[in-house]
Every structure is written in C-alpha cells, then in structure tokens.
Amino acid sequence: MSDAARCCVVGGGPAGMMAALLFARAGTPTVLLEKHPDFLRDFRGDTIHPSTLDVMDELGVLDAFLQRPHQKVTSLAGNLGDTVITVADFTHLPTRCKFLAFMPQWEFLNFLAEEAKRYPCFDLRMQTRAADLIWENGRVAGVRAQTRDGIEEVRADLTIVADGRESLLRERAGLEVVELGAPMDVLWLRLSKRSDDPHETFGYIRNGRIMALIDRGSYWQCAYVIPKGTLAQLRERGLEEFRGQVSAIVPFLADRVEELRTWDDVKLLTVRVNRLRRWYRPGLLCIGDAAHAMSPIGGVGINLAIQDAVAAANMLAPKLRSGMLSERDLREVQRRREPAARRTQALQLFIQHTIIGRVLAQGRPPFLHRLPMLLRAMPFLPRIPGRLVGLGFRPEHVTS
Ligand SMILES: Cc1cc2nc3c(=O)[nH]c(=O)nc-3n(C[C@H](O)[C@H](O)[C@H](O)COP(=O)(O)OP(=O)(O)OC[C@H]3O[C@@H](n4cnc5c(N)ncnc54)[C@H](O)[C@@H]3O)c2cc1C
C-alpha cells in the first residue's frame, strides 16, 4: 500500500511528536510513525524545562498541560559528603515558569498527541516501524514501514528522522556519527518515598560514588552512576553488595533497599555522547537524539529535542507549503541548531572529565571541597547552571 503526505515524521518521542504537532498546526499534511503501541515506557527522561514550558505557552496550552500530574522543582541541590549545596537555581530565569516540571514522559507525549489530533491534517500511526528509506532521483521521497498488516509506503516531500539515539534511518541515509565518549553508565532504580524523607536533595557524591534522586511524589527515581561497562562486575558481586552501596551513599534509603528484589529492578542506561557530522540529505532531516545523543548530565536531552523540532517547523513549514523546500533549507536548520548541541556537549564532556571521571576513579575531584565556600561568597552562582539547564544555549520560540 502506498500513501502520500507532505511531511513524514519517524519516531513519536519528544522531538518527533513536537515536530509533527507543529507541522500539522502550520497546515502541513503530516504522518507520524511510531513503532510502539503506546508511550508507556519507564525511565525515558521526565524533565520538562522552563524553555519547553514557554513553547507550551506559545502554543496556548500551558495551563491545560500543567493540569497533568507533575512535580515543580525550582532548584537542584547536591550533597557533597555531608554538605548540602544548591547546584542550579531556576527562580531568576526570564521565562513564564521558573521551575522544571517532572512529568512522566508518557503524560507529556500523550498530551502532545491529543493536541496534534485536533488538526485534521495530522495522522498518527502507532505500531508502525519505519524499516527503510524510499530514494528517488538521489533524494529521499519517504519511508517504507512495517505495520501489523504488512509493508506500507509513506511518500513525503520531507522526512523528519526523530527515531532516537539508536536511529536506523540515519544509518540508512548514510550519515556519519562522531562518537565523543563517556566514562560512565547509569543504573536506574525506583525506591519508595516516605513522608519524613528530605525534600530538596537531588545529587549525592560520597566515597567515590555518585547518585541522583528525582522526587516522583510516591517514590524516588534513582540514577546510580557506575564506571563505563562495569555492570557485569557489579552483578557478579551480588545484589546484596549493591544494596549496601546504595545505602552507603544515601543512608536514609537503607530501610528500603530490599525493594530491589532482582537485577530486573535495575535498568541500565548505556551513556553515549555523539552527533552527526551532517544532519540532512535531500528530502530528509535528523533531529533530537538521532542528530545528537546527549550525556544525561543536566537532563537536557528532551529540551534540545524540542528546540530542534521548533526550529525545524519554524524554518521548513513555510517552505513545504510553497513547494520550495531545498537542501539548503535543511542545512540552515543544522546551522541554527548544531552550535547549541555542540556547546552543551562540550560542557557535559568537561563535567564528565573533571568531576564524574575523577570521582569514579579517585574518590573525589580535587576542587569539589572548595565549592561550599565559593557558593557562600557568591550565592548567585547557581543561577548560571540554572540558565544553562533551564533555557539552554539557544531557546527557540514558535513562529509558524
Ligand atoms: C534512561 C534514560 C533517562 C533519561 N533521562 C533524561 C532526563 O531526565 N531528562 C532529559 O532531558 N533527557 C533524559 N534522557 C534523554 C531523553 O530521553 C532523550 O534525549 C529524548 O527522549 C530524545 O528525544 P527524541 O525524540 O530525539 O528520541 P526518543 O525519545 O528516543 O524517541 C524516539 C522514538 O522513536 C521511536 N522509534 C525508534 N525507531 C523507530 C522506527 N524505526 N520506526 C518508528 N518509530 C521508531 C521510538 O519508539 C521512540 O518513541 C534520558 C534517556 C534515557 C534512555
């Protein structure tokens, strides 16, 4: 079966869903292909940043969006040994919402999908896995997808590839990936939350170990950082020892580490930092993780994915409408968005190298103990990471 649209978006993650919503909103017949039957996947990253909340405001849906269950976080704290410091402060941002909203990603994606469905030119196809590109006269003319009923062709003037960091289509497009490396992997686990637990503490660095806790209302979502590729050794030493390590870093969790019953309760995120040298081919553009996989430092992957989508729709929807879309337009999107991704990755690599790598290898980086003193002398300092995390280097605004 063959089908035609102006725009075919592959991948219903934050990048693809926002791009599809914006193209449809601009009146472009848009098909979105998502391989899963729903958005219900755990530990996908749940941070909605102030700049993304501004985008929701520009779309006129912010108040409705904030009706969905979420936690507001106005600052991020760190626990160095026994000293608590504020690492990032969002309360001074020039945005409508001066907080991060922690919301399960399926809530966010369902919300965007419902908004997009209000436009008759939007067509969401779940359980549809893009398997290959259709090439015609040296340009991408759409995708071939596997559905429950067999192979389907979706022909389009523009194919937006937003299929995440394991992107199949960027490989099919022959786009080269530059790997930047990371010294760590992250283990995700969930432990229950009690009413007398501390509220504000987010990151812990203690005895050469690093763990971050995200307050999810009834439970803590915990990110435990390990040296890259060492999960197998950790498993060999046994779950009991791992439970002991978690209790040693965050002592108030000691009374509930038994909730980790098997290694199935511990999910591995293999950290990758990379980017494409070139984000486009004639008729095709990669955005989000497919164009640049981010380190989890700062939790900025979703925000950058959304910003890419906004820029792509702003710049390309009018061109598509007039039938004047050229390869140069696609290059302009990369030119606009790549510097923000590069600068963010450079900062993440610096932190990976100077803090995380050293903590994991040597116990503690040499300068961290001076941080509390520095922050006492310059209490405004946390506003800088607040701006970098909350807004990013180049926040985008909806113009289409
Ligand atoms: C465990 C974990 C925790 C994270 N925590 C955070 C965080 O706290 N904050 C943050 O900002 N970022 C976080 N991230 C990163 C964040 O999730 C990503 O940066 C962000 O989701 C990227 O969005 P995306 O739309 O580009 O890709 P993805 O979210 O990966 O979406 C890609 C979509 O494409 C679909 N897909 C893939 N292949 C195909 C195909 N062939 N056909 C059709 N559909 C396909 C997938 O099912 C998926 O829905 C985390 C990532 C992980 C893995």
The per-residue pLDDT for 1 is: 47
Beta strand segments in 44-128, E: 47-48, 71-73, 75-80, 83-89, 100-102, 122-125
pLDDT at 354: 87
| Stretch 158-174: mean pLDDT | 97
Q: What is the pLDDT of residue 206?
A: 83
Stretch 229-236: mean pLDDT = 95
Q: Compute, in degrees rounded to 10, the torsion defined by CA atoms 275, 276, 278, 281.
A: -140
Tell me how far the alpha carbon of residue 287 lies from the centroid of ligand 1, in angstroms. 11
The three-state secondary structure class of 108 is helix
pLDDT value at position 379? Answer: 86
CATH fold, domain 2-179+272-390, is: FAD/NAD(P)-binding domain (3.50.50)
Closest alpha carbon to 231 in 200, 177, 268, 199:
268
Reported as a pLDDT band with limits 50, 70 and 90, residue 307 is: very high
Section 24-29 average pLDDT: 96
pLDDT at 355 over 70: yes
The whole-number pLDDT of residue 43 equals 60
203 vs 3, higher pLDDT: 203
- Give the pLDDT of residue 358: 84
Closest protein CA for atom 53 of ligand 1: 44
Tell me the angle at which helices 301-322 and 14-25 cross, rounded to the nearest 10 degrees.
Answer: 30
200 pLDDT exceeds 70? no
Alpha-carbon span 217 to 379, nearest angstrom = 29
**Residue 295: pLDDT above 50?**
yes
State residue 351 phi and psi, 5-degree precision.
Answer: -65, -40
For residue 47, the CA-to-ligand 1 centroid distance in Å is 12
Ligand 1: residue whose CA is nearest its atom 31: 13
3-state SS class at 168: coil
Confidence of residue 367 (pLDDT cuts 50, 70, 90): confident
Residue 290 CA to ligand 1 centre (angstroms): 9
Alpha carbon of 380 to ligand 1 centroid (Å): 33
CB-defined site of ligand 1, < 6 Å: 10-16, 33-36, 43-47, 129-130, 162-164, 168, 188, 269, 288-290, 294, 296, 299-303, 305
Collapsing DSSP states into helix, strand and coil, what is residue 216? Answer: coil
376, two tokens: 């006492």
Instruction: Look at residue 112 and give its three-state secondary structure.
Output: helix
pLDDT at 172 over 50: yes
Alpha carbon of 370 to ligand 1 centroid (Å): 36
Q: Among 47, 52, 48, which residue's Cα sits nearest to residue 95?
A: 52
The residue among 348, 281, 279, 272 whose CA lies nearest residue 308 is 279
CA of 202 to the centre of ligand 1 (A): 22
Most ligand 1 atoms within 8 A of CB, residue of 102, 289, 292 to mutate: 289
Q: Is the pLDDT confidence value at 78 over 80?
A: yes
What are the extents of the domains in the chain?
2-179+272-390, 184-269
The tally of CA atoms less than 13 A away on the side-chain side of residue 197 is 24
pLDDT band for 84, please (50, 70, 90 cuts). confident
pLDDT of residue 316: 97
Percent of the chain clearing pLDDT 90 (strictly above):
74
Question: What mean pLDDT is predicted for residues 332-357?
Answer: 94
> Closest Cα to residue 16, out of 277, 302, 282?
302
| 23-32, 35-44, 233-242: range with lowest mean pLDDT | 35-44
> Mean pLDDT over all residues of the chain?
92
Atom of ligand 1 nearest to the CA of 15: 25
Residue with tokens 């926040």: 395
Contact 349, 295 (CB under 8 A): yes
Confidence of residue 3 (pLDDT cuts 50, 70, 90): low
pLDDT, residue 193, reads 93
Q: Which CA distances in Å does 158 have to 67, 139, 329? A: 34, 10, 11
- pLDDT of 366 > 70? The answer is no
Instruction: List pLDDT tens digits, range 100-145.
Output: 998 989 999 999 999 999 999 999 999 999 999 999 999 999 999 9
CA distance 263 to 240: 11
pLDDT at 365 over 60: yes
Pocket residue to mutate for ligand 1, from 18, 21, 32, 35, most atoms within 8 A of Cβ? 35
pLDDT at 230 over 50: yes
Ligand 1 geometric centre to CA of 16 (Å): 10
Tell me: pLDDT of 363 over 80.
no
Instruction: Quickly tell me which residue has 């890419």 as its tokens.
Output: 308
- Cα separation, 189 vs 342, in Å, equals 30
- At 248-269, the pLDDT tens digits run 999 999 999 999 999 999 999 8
pLDDT on residue 198? 82
d(CA 289, CA 13): 10
